Amino acid sequence: MKIIFSSSIKNYLEKVEPLLLRKESSNNLMLGLLEYFKTTMTKDVYCGYIEDGGEVIYAFMQTVPNNWILADVDHVDDQLFSTLANFFYKKAIKVPGVLGPIHNVECFVREWLKYKKVKASIKMNQVIYQLNEVRITPSPNGELVKATKSEHELIKSWLIQFGKETKEKPITEIKASQMATKYIENESLYLWKVDGMPVSMANQSRRTKNGVSINAVFTPDEFKRNGYATNIVAALSQKLLDSGYQFCSLYTDRENPTSNKIYSNIGYDVVGSSVVYEFK
């Protein structure tokens, strides 16, 4: 096996995209980032792949200072992750954490701990869903509306609350304001409104060759248990399919039965897993 780093996003995509597209939804993070970086200059992205007999058999990447992303590839020998951990150690490559499909990540973590005296902790354990067809009809008592600049403060507030509900790092006021501005300018954030009042939100996120992701699904406490999250995700998913995407994908907390039930009812089916380990 030969481990190679590519300095060109274009060349890297040519090498690894066919492999990643075999499980497009499960690899939507890598594919979405690479799609973004095709048109955005950056020097803080490390793109690696592994060849065996001239064939690309695995891919991994990092956007500094974030965790390394391991691809979801079927029928990968566990020895590959031992080889990768050994390579990182010998090259003194920084590994703040690693994320990807459960089995692959746990194989890497087990090997990495043989080289580094660090503590590994799970920061997030998620399920990846894919939808090809919306199975329910959103309520006629509400409507899907694209967010506007006039709703910036509301969206900022909701993003801060969203950060507190998830297991990710808290979203600061400055970060939330930047995110709200970006989402509004990109025309990617949608609100579910009832009688003109915003009650829930969802964002159109990463694009891949055939699909698109949805994230930042949030309903404030005072509006929960009214089906608003179901309505906005169903309506946005249908809108995205109608616009030409073959499928939609999203992540949800494995331990959250409410969100998992909501997405399943809408038409989302489990296609993969994503666990995040961080090293201290």
Boundary-marking domain end, from 62, 84, 118: 118
Q: Is 14 among the domain residues? A: yes
Last residue of a domain, one of 56, 90, 118: 118
156 and 200 in a single domain? The answer is yes
The pLDDT of residue 67: 97
Last residue of a domain, one of 118, 143, 166: 118
Average pLDDT over residues 116-131: 96
Its domain, for residue 147, covers: 130-279
Same domain, 204 and 266: yes
Residues 34, 77 within the same domain: yes
Are 139 and 237 contained in the same domain? yes
pLDDT classification of 43: cutoffs 50, 70, 90: confident
**Is 80 exceeded by the pLDDT of residue 42?**
no
Residue 177 confidence (pLDDT) above 70: yes
pLDDT at 170 over 90: no
Same domain, 150 and 236: yes
Q: Does residue 182 share a domain with residue 205? A: yes
In a domain, 125, yes or no: no
> What is the average pLDDT across 61-90?
97
Residues 271 and 159 in one domain: yes
CATH of the domain at 26: 3.40.630
Name the phi and psi angles at 272, rounded to 5: -175, -175
Query: In this structure, is residue 123 part of a structural domain?
Result: no
Looking up residue 251, the CATH number of its domain turns out to be 3.40.630.30
* Span 18-34, average pLDDT: 96
The confidence score (pLDDT) of residue 41 equals 65
> How many domains does the chain divide into?
2
Edge-first strand listing for the sheet containing 189-194: 2-6, 45-52, 55-63, 68-70, 97-100, 268-279, 120-131, 247-253, 211-218, 197-207, 189-194, 143-146
Tell me if 194 sits within 8 A of 142, measured CB to CB. Answer: yes
One domain, residues 260 and 169: yes
Q: What is the mean pLDDT of residues 142-169?
A: 93
Say how many C-beta atoms besides its own lie within 10 A of residue 183's C-beta: 21
Evaluate if residue 110 carries a pLDDT over 90: yes
Q: Which of 123, 120, 122 is nearest to 279 (CA)?
A: 120
Residues 226 and 271 both lie in one domain: yes
- pLDDT tens for 206-260 read 999 999 999 999 999 999 999 999 999 999 999 999 999 999 999 999 999 999 9
